[in-house]
Structure 1
């Protein structure tokens, strides 16, 4: 650490001490003025600097969303720009986009400390370096490397699941082709996040390193039917359609094996269409009565 102090004594009808202190820690420079007899510390705005706590190597699946995060402290009245390394094309300045490619968008937090460059959907050609630049003089830059992957996920057992009301919905999601473990593996029913659902009887167990996640919903209800999506942070999401049916509906299909519990049936589309129609007629009849 380099510290330089200047003390200037000025006599002009009264005694004043002006103290200029300059401290340098890496690229962070601070200065201040202090006047005796006053509790006020007048600070010259410090220079902006990068927070090095974030990863500079980012992975994103082809077809998914890439999010590159740049953290800046003491931004002040300077601006943050994103520049693509391969052609030095300015993608964004602040929140304004300077490319005709609508896949590139810049976001920032309310305190202007975190700036994210989002690319959606990603292409294999998006791999390369991206520069987060602060408009100081001289410019300050931090480089990030984006690597696209072929990571994908799927839910074991097929694209449709039939089960009896009261049984357990049991879905297992597997991810392969990923480079790093997922930061999270989210489960959705429609747009509802099940990881934070107020509904009781939901159990989610995930092994992010191996790329496995299991969702169990005990004592299923008819209203639990819908599209269930497994959405890992490091892979494309995958969806299956779950149909929770009454015992009466299932009785007509005794020859179809595996309809208890949550064992899936492969390609049951004609059957599902019939059941959906039957359920609609039953609901309509109940409403009329």
Structure 2
């Protein structure tokens, strides 16, 4: 009787041991399988701001990729932009950059426009799918010339035009000034050495708070009259028209210009009412003649 009981207990212990061993093996296999899964490196910037025309880069770092592929998706229309190293869009501004054996899968967007703003996803074709979202902000910077669109100065005085661009997400480049279609360059008096004191036309650029560029014209002459445009390399341009007046005070010219505009408006209104009155009179006279003919 004791031998049977001992045998029964031994069999139970062996079965239990086998079951525990199988469970441990299964758990270890699962942990090993999970441990071999790809994963994202989250230590990357995922909210990127660029200006119109400035190349944008979305950096996706994938560790332990193995035999899986990385794809870039545009979220708004679920359009597949790239898979692996191949591009799946006819828009040639998009391409993936990945050095050989690198964990970096960078989506490059050349010449971005405001419409390219939105969410992009870096995806790994695991089961279930793994994805990491990125936000691209494309903004359009605009230059602004301080003051009114028309400036009036007296011949012989100084013209100062100040072009301002607020701080952008990166280096704002530089600024060029044009008069009409002609690039403005610093000038000096004839036979003088080039110094800031004898330059009649100078351009001063300051990057301290945003980007500020000042065009200065000393001893203005009537030929300086014209349209001046501030043209930044990384922003929309802005223009102002300078009037150089000889023999008349600028304030007087501006003051006299307003009444002419008002007078023109008043004349138009007066002509409208005169025309309306004539129409009424003619209509009444026509009715009188018509009634008289019927009699």
Which one has a bigger Cα radius of gyration? 2
TM-score, normalised via structure 1 length: 0.45
Structure that is richer in helix per residue: 2
TM-score, normalised via structure 2 length: 0.44
Structure that is richer in strand per residue: 1
